[in-house]
Amino acid sequence: MNIAFLVTRLDSPSVRYRVLQYIPCLEREGFLPEVFVIPKNHMDRLSLFRIMKDFDLVFLHRKLLSTIWWLLLRKNSRNLIYDFDDAVMFRDSAHKNPFSARKMNSFKRIIRNADIVIAGNEYLKNFAVNENCKTFVVPTPIDMNRYTGKPSAIGSDPLILGWIGSSVTLFYLENMKNVLDTIFDRFPFVRLKIIADKFFDCDRMPVIKKQWVYEEEISDLHSFDIGLMPLTHDPWSMGKCGFKLLQYMAVGVPAVCSPVGVNKEIVIDGENGFWADSELEWIDKVGELVKNHQLRIEMGIRARKTVIERYSTDVNGKKITDLFNILNNTGQRKKLFMENKYYFPLSKDKKLFLIKGKGWKESYFDKIIKPLLKDESPLNAQQIDSSPNSKCWNVYMEDSSLFIKIFSFRNIFDRLSFFKKSRSTRAWQGGMLLLKNGFSTPDLIARGDILKRFWVQKTFLITQALNKSSNIYDYINILFNGRSFETIQKKREFIITIGRLIGRLHKTGIFHGDLRPGNILINHLDNKILFHFIDNERNKYFPEGIPDRLREKNLVQINMIVTPLITFTDRLRFFKEYLNENTELKPYAKDLTRKIFLKTRKRLQKLIPEIWGKY
């Protein structure tokens, strides 16, 4: 299997450890790897991307390509893996605002169209898995044959606090100058040693400056008594893969690190290292290791064991070769990823891409799919809705009823498959996101795209129909239209349940694209109320929590219930339960509630001016 590795530069630490380090292992397994540096010159880059068609697999490392270059590379790559070990979708920590729309869009475009995505840690995986379910975590590995354990006799006078890295990340350590000076004041025999390409000086702590040299790297690490890895709390730092931490631990040097991102997974506080967040914690934790020689030895042994068991090249090299074999072995690839995916050629340039869900039956193809291909209505179908955005049918089968939605194209980008996923794909994945997190949506039967080259000509979604269900608005008007004590009590319980449901949805990190009352269907099963979310096309998952703007948007949408049966007190009751699920918002409860009420009034005034004053 011929493999082309595409990298930005050969002297990058990331390339050295996530690409070049694997070459001997791959050659032993019978692969034929070749490493290419992506040229800056456009003509040279064009020539390089054209020859990618001669390789069985292309491995793109970290580089975010513009739309044109990505399309050219994707077109010429039989199989393509994208690998990243940093939060490349954000600006680095030196920027005040880490968010970049350009970087995020490039990142999503690449992730969406790669055959396999490899992330350096779980935090990074969470950003990719929404766009591509074929995302795997492979940590940056350590070659334990090279990283030999530190002889126990090394170190003691002076005692060395060590840091190794590049000038790009040196500012993390430089921000700790006050901490380092305080440590020196308490322990005058301590020195700071920096292995890098640039350096800085402290006011009181003596600094030993050593240029990084590959051949001397291990002996330099052996000279450390305690390793340091400070980070800041920001999106870029959260994506760090903790490699410098693994380097310390691999040679048996105990480390103190910031509990940020993957550091919390690598280090068990007090077991194989220490966490330190505040300046006081840094001084205390480093001081504890400085004072206790035996603790340094024992913690270093446990740290090295952690790397051998979870982060060595032997462990992670096998993961990489297994992924390569998946793409090399067509049968195995289909077994893992393609068992429910089917391509049906319709003509020379035209094909049907169909994904079959859990409830799919082969009889549906003739009764539903074939008529859709001919632009005809499905058999036994009743059209229930038609709008500029979509057309919907109920299809009555022998033993069930199905709901079919054919999406319209709102702009040219909806038609171009390489710009973003089709509307049915987004709706399918939005539903899967809910199901994976314990929420309900109508059973996903199938989705399909009719493609002509890059153009989507038709896109549709098939789900189980919920014919005996009603939306929130209708449910309230039908069941709670009375003033008896029992009716009022049931209404209150219902409002509380809705508050908990939406609170739990947001607590999970899920934003629903359109949370108006009509998009939550209700039915009863064994005297229990079941809520089903529909219209899931714009659902999004935020691992770090929903942005305030989107949270407010959802809360305004769900409050768009226009009926005298829902009182102001009912709305307050909803917010109380919502906040009980999201306790971190309670300090801002009053402001948030007022803000949502004002926004809802404004929206109702705009949409339904004759009733807004009654809200």
Q: Are residues 168 and 267 in the same domain?
A: yes
Q: Are residues 451 and 480 in the same domain?
A: no
- Which residues 6+ apart lie within 8 Å of 480 measured at CB? 487, 488, 490, 491, 494, 565
Q: What is the pLDDT of residue 525?
A: 66
**In contact, 247 and 142? CB cutoff 8 Å:** yes
Max intra-chain CA distance, the chain = 86
- Which residues 6+ apart lie within 8 Å of 275 measured at CB? 256, 257, 258, 259, 263, 264, 267, 269, 281, 285
Q: What is the pLDDT of residue 332?
A: 39
Q: Answer yes or no: pTM beyond 0.85.
A: no
Q: Are residues 477 and 608 in the same domain?
A: yes
In a domain? residue 255: yes
**416-420 contacts, C-beta under 8 A, 24 or more apart:** 416/454, 416/455, 416/456, 417/449, 417/451, 417/454, 417/455, 417/456, 418/67, 418/71, 418/74, 418/109, 418/113, 418/454, 419/67, 419/109, 420/112
With tokens 């001919």, the residue in question is 374
Q: What is the pLDDT of residue 261?
A: 83
**CATH number of the domain enclosing 225:** 3.40.50.2000
Burial class (CB in 10 A: 0-12, 13-18, 19+), 398: exposed
In a domain? residue 132: yes
Take residue 48 and report the two structure tokens written for it. 């390089």
Q: What is the pLDDT of residue 421?
A: 81
Take residue 498 and report the two structure tokens written for it. 């809705």
**In contact, 521 and 475? CB cutoff 8 Å:** no
Q: Are residues 183 and 99 in the same domain?
A: no
In a domain? residue 361: yes
Q: Are residues 346 and 421 in the same domain?
A: yes
Last residue of a domain, one of 262, 294, 311: 311
Domain count along the chain: 4
Last residue of a domain, one of 416, 438, 464: 464
Domain housing 52: 2-137
In a domain? residue 12: yes
Kindly report the number of other CB atoms within 10 A of residue 350's CB atom: 15
Q: What is the pLDDT of residue 166?
A: 86
Q: Are residues 65 and 133 in the same domain?
A: yes
> How many Å apart are CA 362 and CA 346, to the nearest integer?
18
Kindly report the number of other CB atoms within 10 A of residue 483's CB atom: 8
Cα 577 from chain centroid (whole Å): 28
- Which residues 6+ apart lie within 8 Å of 329 measured at CB? none
With tokens 């390339």, the residue in question is 15
In a domain? residue 331: no
Take residue 440 and report the two structure tokens written for it. 């309900």
> How many Å apart are CA 615 and CA 613, to the nearest integer?
5
> How many Å apart are CA 181 and CA 446, to the nearest integer?
63
Residue 35 has what DSSP assignment?
A: E
**In contact, 288 and 295? CB cutoff 8 Å:** yes
Q: Are residues 516 and 558 in the same domain?
A: yes
Kindly report the number of other CB atoms within 10 A of residue 301's CB atom: 14
Kindly report the number of other CB atoms within 10 A of residue 73's CB atom: 23
Q: Are residues 484 and 405 in the same domain?
A: no
Q: Are residues 460 and 491 in the same domain?
A: no
In a domain? residue 145: no
Q: Which CA distances in Å does 55 have to 1, 250, 324?
A: 8, 35, 13
Q: Are residues 165 and 295 in the same domain?
A: yes
Burial class (CB in 10 A: 0-12, 13-18, 19+), 348: exposed
Q: Are residues 494 and 430 in the same domain?
A: no
Residue 197 has what DSSP assignment?
A: S
Residues of the chain with pLDDT under 70: 92-97, 152-156, 329-341, 343, 417-419, 525-527, 608-615
In a domain? residue 327: no
- Which residues 6+ apart lie within 8 Å of 407 measured at CB? 389, 390, 414, 422, 423, 424, 427, 459, 460, 461
With tokens 């330099």, the residue in question is 220
Dihedral of the alpha carbons of 320, 323, 324, 325, in degrees to the nearest 10: 120
> How many Å apart are CA 128 and CA 116, to the nearest integer?
11
In a domain? residue 332: no
Q: Tell which residue, 448, 439, 610, 614, has the closest CA to residue 532.
A: 439
Q: What is the pLDDT of residue 358?
A: 78
**CATH number of the domain enclosing 548:** 1.10.510
Last residue of a domain, one of 67, 102, 137: 137
**CATH number of the domain enclosing 52:** 3.40.50.2300
Residue 377 has what DSSP assignment?
A: P
With tokens 């994945």, the residue in question is 429
Q: Tell which residue, 486, 558, 475, 567, has the closest CA to residue 524.
A: 475
> How many Å apart are CA 462 and CA 471, to the nearest integer?
19
Q: Are residues 278 and 167 in the same domain?
A: yes
